Chain A
């Protein structure tokens, strides 16, 4: 089922064009790696899908609807920056999500907390960067959403923790949803994706099945990425 359809999408910040006529659609069950260097437009694209930004031109349809309150109820977004005030505890963050999202699954969240060795009474300000990332990721994937958009879920996280996060992503990845992971850490993510998108200066320059790409080019997506953006 086509859950996301983007047509001729452009975005300007003032006079600067950050996305240029982007078109692609995505289906339930896909796990897409969205790769591009810093400033290529990854975050802007995700924010447009979430509805945090409005398109300058073109259209976005999520489950056949434009971004709005309905689409927010089925899209779970992991921003690349901390969204919680420092006075909050893990428990407060949990309650915050429970209040806002009907599809939030507390049992799943508790399981993830345990997996990541986080406790409910920890304060947000006391969490290390990695632990904070784990907390937010746990919240985001504990929603039973149709679309998960993860913006740099591995940014600033040490390799052993990355493995844990990737494992939890796979464990909780559901055939009934679409997941898009934006990152420049291609190597860590490529094996879990089934589709690869490269974005460069606001344009999608590659859109292919991950397996097919590796088979045709005879190299990893990571190598391909380095060659494309060197």
Chain B
């Protein structure tokens, strides 16, 4: 798996690394029990300080999204509830952004729902 980020300068790097990993879990590129690259490998891939990757992994561990086995590495949680929760948070963020954008265009809820339905079918 190739790891690349175009870093956004306003967000701390460790958070951007966390988001990248969450996104890959959400999309199913990383599955329950999959092993993450080691801190060093990830640092080299992303060209960031190993301590930054360490911090991202620690935070993900605190959130229960990954777990670390001493001497073995870090793995994606096997708790499927946790992964579902993660996806719910992500979809909520996407919808919040979507709602903000469409409200600015002055569409009503019904209009948006019917448009959403229409475009959903078209894109299937």
Bound: A118/B24 CA distance, A = 38
- Nearest CB in chain A: distance from B88 CB, A: 26
Given A171-B44, A211-B55, A215-B12: A191 touches B7 (CB 8 Å cut-off)? yes
**Chain A positions within 8 Å of B55 at CB level:** 211
Candidate in A167, A192, A220, A223 with the most chain B CB atoms within 10 angstroms: A192
Closest to B13 in A: A191
Partner of A192, one of B10, B12, B48: B48
A200 to B14, CA, bound (A): 29
Q: How far is the CA of A191 from the CA of B51 in the complex (A)?
A: 11
Residues of B within 8 A of A223 (CB): 9
Asked if residues B12 and A194 are in contact (CB atoms below 8 Å), the reply is: no
Chain B residues lying within 8 Å of A106, measured Cβ to Cβ, are none
CB-nearest residue of chain B to A168: B44
Q: Is A214 an interface residue (CB 8 A)?
A: yes
Which B residue's beta carbon lies closest to that of A171? B44
User: Is B26 positioned at the interface, with any CB of A under 8 Å from its CB?
Assistant: no
Overall SS of chain B's interface: helix
Cβ–Cβ contact B50 & A173, under 8 A: yes
Which residues 2-29 of A sit at the B interface, judged by CB distance below 8 A?
A: 29
CB pair A214 B12 closer than 8 Å:
yes
CB distance from A154 to the nearest CB of B (A): 13
Would B10 and A219 count as touching, CB distance under 8 A? yes
Distance in angstroms between the alpha carbons of A8 and B13 in the assembled complex: 34
Q: Are A219 and B9 in contact (CB under 8 A)?
A: yes
Q: Which chain A residues numbered 146 to 181 have a C-beta less than 8 Å away from chain B?
A: 163, 166-167, 170-171, 173, 175
Q: Is A31 an interface residue (CB 8 A)?
A: yes
Q: In the complex, which of the residues A29, A171, A194 contacts B52, with contact meaning CB atoms closer than 8 Å? A: A194
Q: Which residues of A contact B44 (CB under 8 A)?
A: 167, 170-171
Interface assignment of B30: CB less than 8 Å from any CB of chain A: no
Interface contacts beyond A170-B47, A220-B9: sample of 13 additional A-B pairs, CB < 8 Å, sorted by A: A31-B49, A31-B51, A166-B47, A173-B50, A191-B7, A191-B48, A191-B52, A194-B52, A211-B12, A211-B13, A214-B9, A219-B10, A223-B9
- Kindly list the 3 A-B residue pairs having the minimum CB-CB distance in the complex, ordered from nearest: A220-B9, A191-B48, A215-B12
Which residues of A pack against B, CB within 8 Å?
Answer: 29, 31, 163, 166-167, 170-171, 173, 175, 191-194, 210-211, 214-215, 218-220, 222-223
